[in-house]
Amino acid sequence: MPLDKAKAPFTLPKLPYADDALAPVISANTISFHYGKHHATYVKVLNELIAGTAYEALSMEEIVVRSATDKDAAAKKIFNNAAQAWNHEFYWHSMTPKGGAPTGKIKDALEKNFGGLDAFKKAFSQAATGQFGSGWAWLVKGKDGALKIETTSNADTPIAHGGTPLLVADVWEHAYYLDYQNRRPDHVAAWLDKLVNWSFAEKNLT
Ligand code: MN
């Protein structure tokens, strides 16, 4: 996992590109709410929830994993905010203004596991579009090393279940509604064609 290993209090991680770099697929207006309000709020609320608790000594990833199985009544809120903070940081890195076709090991892995890029896109698009309500669509490396497409609901995340995420698409309405309204399939298709950061996926694979 290449993401930040910082401890509390957490700060909103910097975007890896300018706020208008993903337009027209994702507008600067969407980024201003999605990053500047939604993601920022998950980080702020998490800091408030863990202040003075044992979670304060852990990294974000450790908080996600531990709170997922914590039976304490407060843990569900901690999980939701930590997982959303983690998922969003991973999501920003899953995109690049220079998306396109994969190369190298990730290209080979898509061939082996899905039969190629087009078949992968079709399966990912079906999963992302079919996720009912809010959630995430992931490309994950399972414990057996095989690549799989998974969806999770709300804040849930593969790192709480032992999977290794390679890429994620946010399919909460806040990720696309200002630009695509209810047309999630159109957003996902453009996301796959123009924004996927295949070199990030390859780094996570190896
Ligand atoms: Mn989101």
pLDDT per 10-residue tile (average), the chain, 206 residues? 71 97 98 98 98 95 96 94 98 96 96 98 98 97 94 97 96 96 97 98 95
What spacing in Å lies between the alpha carbon of 112 and ligand 1's midpoint? 30
Residue type for position 142:
G
Dihedral of CA 68/2/85/142: which sign?
Answer: negative
What spacing in Å lies between the alpha carbon of 95 and ligand 1's midpoint? 13
What spacing in Å lies between the alpha carbon of 84 and ligand 1's midpoint? 8
Do residues 195 and 140 lie in contact, with contact meaning Cβ atoms separated by under 8 Å?
A: no
Do residues 88 and 13 lie in contact, with contact meaning Cβ atoms separated by under 8 Å?
A: no
What spacing in Å lies between the alpha carbon of 172 and ligand 1's midpoint? 6
Q: What is the pLDDT of residue 4?
A: 60
Total-model pTM: 0.96
Q: What is the pLDDT of residue 168?
A: 98
Angle CA 100–104–106, to nearest 5: 75
Helix (H, G, I), strand (E, B) or coil at 59: strand
Q: What is the pLDDT of residue 7?
A: 81
Q: What is the pLDDT of residue 47?
A: 97
**CA 206 from centroid of its chain's CA atoms:** 18
**CA 67 from centroid of its chain's CA atoms:** 18
